[in-house]
Copies of this chain bind each other. A is one copy, B any other.
Amino acid sequence: MKNIALVEDCCPPLLETALSAEDAERMAVAFRVVGDPTRLRLLSMIATHPGGEVCACELVEPLGLSQPTISHHLKVLFEAGLLGRERRGTWVFYRVSSGPLEALRSALATTPN
């Protein structure tokens, strides 16, 4: 979970050609990012928020987890490329990056594209 664009270059279509060990590892890392309920809810909350953008401060209380925990999950999502981040004053705003999500999605395609 290091590179910004982790998800971007992870995802040859799974069912089309046999996956190499390296591709499988990359893809697995990407799917593990969305394999956590808190991160899924964060994505969902941010995407459905009016304006498509949410202050991190609004995400702590509704999930009932500590601020460090939410911060950690936001970081994981950001580093995977699934979230964009913008600082405005003291606040940090997040929005969902649809491209990488689509990349992940395409990996699961059951018909050639």
* A→B interface (CB under 8 Å): 14-19, 21, 24-25, 27-29, 31-32, 34-41, 43-45, 47-48, 96, 98, 101-102, 104-105, 108-110
Contact partner, A47, options B14, B36, B41, B101, Cβ 8 Å: B14
The smallest beta-carbon distance between A25 and chain B, in angstroms, is 5
> Given A17-B48, A21-B41 in contact, is the A31-B28 Cβ separation under 8 Å?
no
Q: Does A36 lie within 8 Å of B28, measured CB to CB?
A: yes
Contact A19 B41 (CB under 8 A): yes
Can you list 11 A-B pairs, Cβ within 8 angstroms, ordered by A? A15-B43, A17-B48, A21-B41, A24-B37, A24-B44, A28-B35, A28-B37, A34-B108, A101-B108, A104-B108, A105-B105
**In whole Å, how far is A64's beta carbon from the nearest beta carbon of chain B?**
9
With both beta carbons as reference points, the residue of chain B lying nearest to A48 in the complex is identified as: B18
Not counting A18-B45, A19-B45, a sample of 16 additional A-B residue pairs whose C-beta atoms are within 8 angstroms of each other reads A14-B43, A15-B44, A19-B41, A24-B37, A24-B40, A24-B41, A25-B37, A27-B37, A27-B40, A28-B34, A29-B35, A32-B35, A102-B108, A102-B110, A104-B108, A105-B110
